[in-house]
Amino acid sequence: MERFVMKGGRPLNGEVVIGGAKNASLGVLAAAVMADEPCLIENMPDVRDTNVMLQAIEGIGGKVERIDAHTVKINGAAISKDNTVVDDEFIRKIRASYYLLGALLGKYKKAIVALPGGCDIGSRPIDQHIKGFTALGAKVEIGHGMITAEAERLTGAHIYMDVVSVGATINVMMAAALAEGRTIIENAAKEPHIVDVANFLNSMGANIKGAGTDVIRIRGVEKFHGSTYAIIPDQIEAGTFMTLAAATRGDITVRNVIPKHLEAISAKLNEIGCTIHEYDDAVRVDARERTLKNTQIKTLPYPGFPTDMQPQMAVVMALSEGTSIITESIFENRFRYVDELARMGAKIQVEGNTAIISGISKYTGADMVAPDLRAGAALVIAGLAAEGYSAVENIELIQRGYEHFEEKLQDLGASISLVDSDKEEQKFKLRVV
């Protein structure tokens, strides 16, 4: 079985170029099928989840032409109204499969999509998506593992989201963009990828205003035209490398980022003792020879501290002086990495949605299993900060969202390798003693 093996314990330094945002690209790729003309999408990350989305688009008759690893041309013209069933063993595993529901419902007024899977980080209801589609006039039914949404016609509505949801905001925004009349989404999520999907929809001819604030106003249009669009940089990939600098007491510059999107992460790292330098499209985290101190974080919708950075930040907090506290307010099952970190000596106690972390001075290498995407990345960071050898299994979860992870780490000086046998692991250990 494939796993990452690494030898940690030394500062990692250098520059890393951040790719396109996975969670933005999943929305953008789904939205691209709404036009009957080609859409050229650039800066798409070449990761498992985006490739599954592209397969699903092909599965319903969309034309997908891969120009290169990060550029794809999508044409939704050949999708027929009678072929709006999205289901295969892969699409069931990704959360963002539900974006095809909003996209196809908007365009064809009918969509049947397998109930979404995704990382096992807690119960992940879709009631707000259903509430939004229903308000637009669709009939939504769930049965036999599928969601069916259908409407004679979609008409604009005033929708108040009871919880701030990234997925529901994007989904309802897509369907409403091709509905008749005016839609207002209140209590909308404000994440950078909401803005990115709205910008892409607008580039195809939609009329969406206010994305990035909590009130989004949409004037429905009849149809979309083709577009060329570049996805924003991945805020979470960037944040992951920023915490790597802190955990290994290194000095890393993340390039091709939008520093504003990273403010919550930069502010926390600065608060605990790292020096942050912000440039136009780069952020440098300098933690060399620093003693980091304790802090508290509470995960919140953007612009709060992102839940997708909580495990990586925990790895840093467990190596900082004093007692730190994390409150996870978005997903209830996002502390499953704690038992794995404990194998390295971390002292973390979880009570409900709170983790109480007593800082230690160093980790000792251990064999670990990634419980989900971000936690998996966090365990790799811990392994690279730890003394001695570590291994992380279940890396296909990490590959859902990180492109060339081990190569980027190697470029920063990490001793890490992807192996798929004990023999290869032994070879790695002999090589890096």
Could you list the residues that contact ligand EPZ (CB under 6 A)?
23, 26, 95-96, 119, 121, 124-129, 163, 165-168, 189, 307-308, 330-331, 373-374, 401
Tell me the two tokens of residue 344: 């390295």
Q: What is the 3-state secondary structure (H, E, C) of 76-136?
A: CCCCCCCCCEECCCCHHHCHHHHHHHHHHHHHHCEEEEECCCCCCCCCCCCHHHHHHHHHC
Q: Please say which residue, 5 or 111, places its beta carbon nearer to ligand EPZ.
A: 111
Structure tokens at 116: 């979404």
The least distance separating ligand EPZ from the CB of residue 307, rounded to whole angstroms, comes to: 5
CB of 349 within 8 A of CB of 412?
no
Residues whose CB is less than 8 angstroms from the CB of residue 245 and which lie 6 or more positions away in sequence, other chains included: 12, 251, 252, 274, 285, 286, 287
| C-alpha to C-alpha distance for 198 and 208, rounded to whole angstroms | 6
Q: Which listed residue (101, 113, 119, 188) is catalytic?
A: 119
Q: Quote the least distance from Cβ 170 to ligand EPZ, whole Å.
A: 7
Nearer to ligand EPZ, 264 or 368 (CB): 264
Taking the complex as a whole, the smallest distance from the CB of residue 289 to ligand EPZ amounts, in Å, to: 32
Kindly write down the DSSP assignment for every residue of 181-238, as one continuous string.
SEEEEES----HHHHHHHHHHHHTT-EEE-BTBSEEEEE--S-B--EEEEPPB-HHHH
**Residue indicated by tokens 């959360």:** 95
Q: How far is the CB of 23 from ligand EPZ (least distance, A)?
A: 3
Query: Residue 194 or 391: which CB sits closer to ligand EPZ?
Result: 194
**Which residue, 96 or 265, is less far from ligand EPZ as judged by CB?**
96
- Rounded distance, CA 426 to CA 433, Å? 11
Quote the CA–CA distance of 342 and 232 in Å, as a whole number: 36
In whole angstroms, the minimum distance from the beta carbon of 165 to ligand EPZ comes to: 3
Distances (CA, A) of 164 to 59, 304, 334: 31, 12, 18
Question: Which of residues 161 and 382 has its CB atom nearest to ligand EPZ in the complex?
Answer: 161
Closest-CB residue for ligand EPZ?
167
Closest separation in Å from C-beta 185 to ligand EPZ: 13
Instruction: Output the smallest distance, CB 374 to ligand EPZ, in A.
Output: 5
DSSP state of 149: E
Contact 256, 283 (CB under 8 A): no
Work out the widest C-alpha separation in the chain, in whole angstroms: 67
Q: Phi/psi at 367 (nearest 5 deg)?
A: -90, 130
By C-alpha distance, which of 159, 152, 155 is closest to 182? 155
Closer to ligand EPZ by Cβ: residue 200 or 389: 200
Compute the distance between CA of residue 122 and CA of residue 126 in angstroms, rounded to an integer.
13
Rounded Cα gap, residues 299 and 313, in angstroms: 11
Nearer to ligand EPZ, 112 or 121 (CB): 121
Phi, psi of 74 (to 5 degrees): -125, 135
Burial of 422 (0-12, 13-18, 19+ CB in 10 A): exposed
The nearest distance, CB 39 to ligand EPZ, in angstroms, is 19
Give catalytic status of residue 119 as yes or no. Answer: yes
For the annotated catalytic residues, the residue numbers are 119
